[in-house]
Chains A and B, each alone.
Chain A
Amino acid sequence: MIRSLSFVFFVLISIQALSQEKVTLNGYVRDVSNGEELIGVTVYIPQMKAGTMTNPYGFYSLTLPKGTYEVQFSYVGYSAQTVTVNLQGNTERNIDMLGESTMMQEVVVSDKRVDENVVQLQMSKNTLDMNRVRKLPALFGEVDIIKNIQMLPGVITAGEGTSSFYVRGGSADQNLILIDEAPIYDPSHLFGLFSVFNADVIKDSELYKGGIPARFGGRLSSILEVRTKDGNNKQLSGSAGIGTMASRLMIEGPIKKDKSSFIISARRSYVDLFLRAANNDNLVHFYDVNAKLNWRHNNNNRFFAAFYSGRDVFNFGDQFGFAWGNRTATFRWNHLFNDRLFSNTSVILSNFDYKLELKDPVQGFKWTSNLEELSVKNDLSYFINTNNDLTFGYHITGRRFSPGRISPNTEASMFKEINLQHMFAIDHALYISNQQRVSEKITLDYGLRLSIFQNVGSTDLYLYNDPQNNSRPVRTDTVHYGAWKNIKTYVNLEPRAAIRYMLADGQSLKASYNRMVQNTHLVAAGTVPVPFNTWNPSGYYLTPQLADQVALGYFRNLRDNTLEFSAEAYYKDMKNVTDFADNANIFFNQDLSTEFRQGKSWSYGLELMLNKKEGKLTGSVGYTWSKTMRKVPGVNGGMEFPANYDRRHVLNIQAAYDYSPRWTFGATFTYSTGRPVTVPTGKFEYENYHPDVITERNGYRLPVFHRLDLSATYSPKKNDNRRWKGSWVFSVYNAYNRQNPFTIYTRVTKNKDGDIIGDGYTKEARMIYLFPILPSVTYNIKF
């Protein structure tokens, strides 16, 4: 390992030595209307047949021999720009790009676009086009990026009304969900009906399903990176929306023009206000607040502070209630050491907590749980020359897991206070990766991530005579570890590699390999995680989960790059995936470690995607064929079984049509093989109960799922006397009122009042259907 690292350094140093006669062109690329930095803008120099892309902070740097160059900047949804640069010394050139939505309708953009889908090295990545997302139908009219992520090829959903997603055979907890670099541990509002991401502030969201860059780690299956807007630094502006479920308000503007800006946004659901008006005392609401400050000290030093806070609150009368929420804070400092060395330093805080409370003089109790983390990251990009971009960095994260505390909340409560032990972990990651343009045809990326995970004290470690006996755990000893004392350390090397090979014009082949390691394990035994699940670090009883994934893809653009096609095949092999014993007790269990079972899982599939990005009609068609199995000793009798998120066929179609300046239409269609479920084969009698006999886990399939959603956006002609512009969004969810399966349960046959009918022995299976046809209206304004 040491040898290969020093080899990499040797190569880098020699590359640098060769590039000394060159000069650097660098700068930031921004949206002209609001000063937002643009991420992933293609910067291309035709005469050199070389280029780069802006990094996650909108920065680019190209090192070239002295000379005069035509430099093309192109970005989806923006008109491409070509600038001529006479490069005699190191040059800084910031580019302002014009968004197509802000342009006059009549202007036709004729610049040939660079073929990003084909040319870029990164495969297995999807970027959501927020402009399109806003035109598409949304459940209750709430634009939701997770619901759009669920429509991507290679991504599976557990059904409607959930915010969890499953990437290439990975479970829901194997996705690292980041908002401005801070992890979100539960992305759901109302148990998944909506996600925590308020579309008003989302600038960009990207999902990495494979070929995951070395700067990311900590989860097996995917990285969902969501970035919020920096705030308009040109003028004060904002937007607001009134929907059927929630209302939103966003304001952004400069603090000091072109220097610093702010954005603040809030969203709140108001079902509870109706319920209160209707004298119903079951109150439910959620809210999100996003805020960001952004200060450009000079081109070499930029600072950001981003905050997010969101919460769900449920109250059932004055007796019972629960709540959960995420809070994150990110402080960032972008620094240019020199023209070619870009540094980002972030300090990130994240906290997830939930609480349950039963208010009763005797049965009253309060149950709280949380997970806190603090991390410091330093990521460096070194733009060595036009052929080599080096990234490297160091991340350190400390986590405190507080899985639960129950305390009485009244004098006369029958409960006493009990605490589950806190757990602590420190996580170091060091990575280095180089993107190298070997020839016109071949680009490589090779990198290595070293992760060192330590489960530390203070804690009391329980030892058992049989660590897997969950029926009657017998502790043989308790070992006390003091604060910061190492309990268990896991060191893992995670190689990452990718190659892109250009075929004839407009076509390429890509391949990638990544190893991922996951040291935080969600304690959830169902398909869809609930906010009341807790997390456990790797340690004495849990070993790190590992995934090796290879992917191969063919990329082709058609019709002057307006149509993108891709076909990707993957195979993913996962070891030590965390599962739980049959009948595991995962809530408030002091001997939780006896419920852990780890085993293997494997998944393979083929994903086809056709994407039309330009023109009046835009949209995509995605099809996925996949298979995911699990085999875990101690689960399902040790026999292999289909994972809860195994689906053979998934088809998703999204389309947006700009009919006129006034009207835009959107449609979404989804089709999926049914979810595997465990159904009874028999039944028996015990006392007065009629339990089922279970034989095989996930041996049955729910019926297929399919649904069509429609939307229409009406933008009335702007009244010149007003500063603001309004628009109406009408949407219909489940347009043909399909009864889609949600889940199945069984019971003794009853009538609709819940009274047992018949002989009292006969059982029935019942299917739950979630959403019938649901129309909704949202009114949005921009100012």
Chain B
Amino acid sequence: MKNILIVALFALALAACDKPIRLDLGQSTPRVIIEGQVTNRLGSQYVKVSRSSDFYQTGPSPRITNAIVTVKDSDGNEIMFEHNPRNYADSIGYYLPQTAFVGTIGKDYHLRVEVDGQVYEADDHLYSVTSIDSLAFRVDDDEKDDPKDYNKFYEVLLYAKEPQNTTDYYLFKFYRNDSLKVDDDNEIYYSNDEALGESIDGISSPVFFGPGDKATVEAYSLSRSGYVFYDDLQKLLNTDGGLFNQPPANSRTNLTNGAFGFFHASAVNSKTIVIVE
């Protein structure tokens, strides 16, 4: 809902023109950035360690490859993470578990990252997530008139039950033929359940598909602090420079010692459907 508001305000402001300008910025102090996740799905556990860079820096951010990374659950099981074990060129800065494991609903997870003698830690609880009962699809008429991508004008409809006796926070991801898609590069699909009733009967996807495409929807559980992180991140990514909305600020995080980013433990449920004409 908030997003709609911001979009509406921005639509007005953007009726005018905008141009790139060069900001006269000094050098920034690099910060340690940690992006980590533990889920109840095999093979999706990872921790990425990098640094922030100057605003106008080109290319990927500097990656940290010599960190000592461990994840410990509330039963005391500790798993060591290893930097890019398979030496993939696109996985520099990514740490994977030395021994495969899956997260368990109801457990707490503790991340510890040591970089050059500095220790950064985070805790998160792995909550359950409601299952996606089914998916359907239909033609979106507006999108058919003016498709963003050629031929992609089917929207996927999601059916689920929102548990009314628990406080839940959600993160959604949409995949077209196994590739993660967003409608706009600054969009995050997340929600709390404050205003949600029990029946979610066909909420439409923000991402569009073409005939023959495989559409996958993933629902992740988030803790309250995870929700707050994504909410802050969304505000930061979509700031209007403090004119109608508040001045931009860094996202709140569960990481200690001044690191940015987040470590989240999530349960995941997903469904896939193939679009047929």
Contact = CB atoms under 8 A, between A and B. Distances in A.
Given A684-B260, A767-B19, A743 B240 contact: yes
A717 interface: no
B24 to A, nearest CB: 8
Contacts of A657: none
Contacts of B25: 679-681
A550 to B, nearest CB: 30
B263 to A, nearest CB: 11
A692 interface: yes
Contacts of B251: 583, 691
Contacts of A580: 246
A775 to B, nearest CB: 17
A535 interface: no
Contact of A743 (B5, B13, B17, B202): B13
A644 B233 CA distance: 22
Interface residues of B, number: 80
A532 interface: yes
A579 to B, nearest CB: 10
B20 interface: yes
Interface in A553-603: 580, 582-588, 590
B146 to A, nearest CB: 13
B58 A762 contact: yes
Interface stretch (A40-48, A247-255, A361-369, A616-624): A361-369
Given A585-B231, A684-B50, A742-B243, A694 B20 contact: no
B117 interface: no
Contacts of A418: 194-195
B18 A767 contact: yes
A745 B245 CA distance: 12
B76 interface: no
Interface string A363-377: 101010000000000
Interface in B86-110: none
Nearest to A702: B241
Contacts of A416: 195-197
A273 interface: no
A742 B18 CA distance: 9
B129 to A, nearest CB: 16
Contacts of B188: 689
A489 interface: no
A660 interface: no
Given A472-B225, A683-B53, A761-B59, A415 B195 contact: yes
A747 B240 CA distance: 11
Contacts of B260: 684, 686, 693
Interface in B5-45: 5, 8-9, 12-14, 16-23, 25-26, 28-31, 33, 35
A764 to B, nearest CB: 5
Interface in A731-780: 739, 742-748, 756, 758-759, 761-772
A688 B197 contact: no
Nearest to A680: B55
Given A416-B195, A587-B5, A679-B23, A686 B262 contact: yes
A458 interface: no
Nearest to B48: A685
A714 B5 CA distance: 43
Nearest to B239: A745
Contact of B59 (A471, A585, A698, A759): A759
A365 B195 contact: yes
Nearest to A282: B11
Contact of A683 (B57, B194, B228, B261): B57
Given A191-B9, A530-B9, A683-B55, A414 B250 contact: no
Contacts of B244: 191, 526-528, 530
A86 interface: no
A693 B56 CA distance: 12
A200 B93 CA distance: 67
A363 B8 contact: no
Interface stretch (A6-14, A405-413, A432-440): A405-413
Given A526-B246, A678-B248, A698-B247, A743 B241 contact: yes
A405 to B, nearest CB: 11
Interface stretch (B65-73, B178-186, B267-275): B178-186
Given A683-B52, A684-B52, A685-B61, A158 B247 contact: no
A168 interface: no
A390 interface: no
B83 interface: no
A767 to B, nearest CB: 5
A416 B200 CA distance: 11
Given A686-B233, A694-B249, A761-B60, A356 B55 contact: no
A584 B232 CA distance: 9
Contact of A415 (B196, B224, B233): B196
Nearest to A589: B194
Contact of B225 (A412, A413, A471, A527): A471
B78 interface: no
A408 B1 contact: no
A747 B241 CA distance: 12
A320 interface: yes
A700 B180 CA distance: 36
A682 B55 contact: yes
B176 interface: no
Contacts of A590: 194
A765 B21 contact: yes
A322 interface: yes
Given A526-B243, A682-B53, A692-B236, A771 B16 contact: yes
Nearest to B157: A362
A191 B9 CA distance: 8
A698 B246 CA distance: 11
Interface in A649-678: 677-678
Nearest to A361: B202
Given A191-B9, A362-B204, A414-B201, A691 B233 contact: yes
A412 B61 contact: no
A759 B233 CA distance: 22
A530 B6 CA distance: 11
Given A362-B201, A416-B197, A686-B233, A766 B19 contact: yes
B133 interface: no
Contact of A532 (B5, B180, B194, B196): B5
B114 interface: no
A21 interface: no
Contacts of A680: 25, 55, 248
A363 B243 contact: no
B177 interface: no
Nearest to A529: B244
A580 B244 CA distance: 14
A694 B252 CA distance: 12
A472 B203 CA distance: 28
A686 B228 CA distance: 15
Given A691-B236, A747-B186, A768-B18, A685 B242 contact: no
A681 B2 contact: no
Contacts of A759: 58-60
Interface in A438-488: 471-472
Contacts of A585: 2, 231
Contact of B240 (A316, A686, A745): A745
27 contacts: A159-B243, A191-B9, A191-B244, A316-B8, A362-B200, A365-B1, A367-B1, A412-B199, A472-B228, A525-B245, A527-B244, A530-B9, A580-B246, A584-B246, A677-B242, A681-B25, A688-B180, A689-B185, A692-B248, A743-B13, A743-B241, A758-B58, A761-B61, A762-B56, A766-B21, A770-B16, A772-B17
4 tightest Cβ-Cβ pairs between the two chains A and B? A525-B246, A682-B28, A582-B249, A743-B241
Given A688-B185, A693-B260, 20 more contacts: A191-B244, A320-B4, A365-B1, A413-B197, A472-B224, A526-B242, A527-B242, A585-B2, A586-B246, A587-B2, A678-B242, A683-B54, A684-B261, A685-B60, A686-B35, A693-B28, A694-B249, A697-B249, A765-B21, A766-B20
